[in-house]
Amino acid sequence: MEFGLFFAQQLPRPWGPDAELDLFQESLDQVELADRLGFDYAWAPEQHFLEEYSHSSAPELFLAAASQRTSTIRLGHAVVLMPPGYNEPARVAERISTLDVLSRGRAEFGIGHSKTRMELEGFGVDPQARHEMSLEALGQVTEMMAREPYPGHVGRYVSMPARNVVPKPVQRPHPPLWIACSDDETVRLAARLGIGALAHSFFDPAEAKAVVDEYHETFRRECVPIGHTVNPRVATMVPFHCHPDADVARDRGERAGSFFTYAVRHYHVFGRHRPGSTNLWERSEVVREELGGAIPHRGEHAIGSPAELTERLQAYQEAGLDQTILLHQFGRLPYAEVRASLELFATEVLPGFAAQHAQIRARRDAELAPYVAAALARKERAAAATSPLVDAYGLSRPPLEDPDAHPPHVRDLLAELARMAAVARRLDS
């Protein structure tokens, strides 16, 4: 099993003048540290207007910066918001490919659409159509990255003429695809589309096994890839903090986790938010006190001593998970405590899993190989297309009525353009 870190860029109030500057610089330091320590993935979400909960509105910039400070850790979008109201598909293809080039082939491409009113209404995205928009956009983004040229598309939510979208990614035909999964149906959808499942629910090992089994069974029977290759992987995310003293780990993790849980529910379930003034940290503290301690959250966590985490995560590995993503940066955990937690985990827990990973991965890949081949055979491949000529706007401009009325340098330029255009027309024919 591999391990990733999740950079939500949480920033509870109150904010000092350099709070966001410090947050992002510390996050980049943590990615660099994680790369040296042997973590496998760094994930960053795209989220907008979710004050305190997530200031990660431009993950492509954060990941691009991280790519220049690291060498082996994979850099993942978890996720890009795909409805075109958020991001035009061609811009998504360009940004993902550019990240892949800058990182020398380390990009991972996860998709989602958001469920918050703050984001959907903020960008004018129809909540009822967000799912269909995302899938149509993803299908076209993979075409843009894989085909040269992209033949164009006229659809319900995405339309674009033929263009060659550049740059192309280092990982051909495109980086590994993932989708955010919040329930059994989206896990099955991921399997049917041949893309990895990023399960954001904090489920326990028994639930994890059921999810993995359902994913693999659906993949074997029904997969028709939406992309040009498949990524049959399942990952889950859990709150994380590691300390030699399990009680200290739980005390820190539970308070930070209480804020995380409250903020999620505020934006998704019961919150009434006044942009620029609602204080989530204060509210979460009041709720925590009235509930007599930590705000309960559904599911599992990875908070405790190295021995406890080894046992807990071993159960996840035995359940068949390919990756556990550690929510390491949440609440008000200070940078020094986050750093010490990562270093302790990398020293006492990570090596045991790394030693097993290659063998487990090879066995799973071998088991899935015939089903991967069958899935790719089911995908319909579009015929090669010849892109039409696209005339520059200058070709439609009327000729000047009296060229001699212009200064000599303008007449010379016009004559030069005419000669160049004549050569170009000859080449076109």
**291-300 pLDDT per residue, tens:** 887 777 666 7
Quick check: 102 pLDDT over 90?
A: yes
Q: How much is the mean pLDDT over the chain?
A: 95
Residue-wise pLDDT tens digits, 358-390? 999 999 999 999 999 999 999 998 888 788 899
Collapsing DSSP to helix, strand or coil, 238 comes out as: strand
Mean predicted confidence (pLDDT) in 284-296: 86
Give the per-residue pLDDT at 382. Answer: 82
Mean predicted confidence (pLDDT) in 90-113: 99
* DSSP letter, residue 163: B
Give the per-residue pLDDT at 197. Answer: 98
Give the per-residue pLDDT at 160. Answer: 98
Residue-wise pLDDT tens digits, 60-83? 999 999 999 999 999 999 999 999
- Report the CATH number of the 2-378 domain: 3.20.20.30
Residue-wise pLDDT tens digits, 25-43? 999 999 999 999 999 999 9
Give the per-residue pLDDT at 298. Answer: 64
In this prediction, what percent of the chain has a pLDDT beyond 70? 99
Structural domain boundaries in the chain: 2-378, 393-428
Mean predicted confidence (pLDDT) in 51-64: 99
Give the per-residue pLDDT at 299. Answer: 64
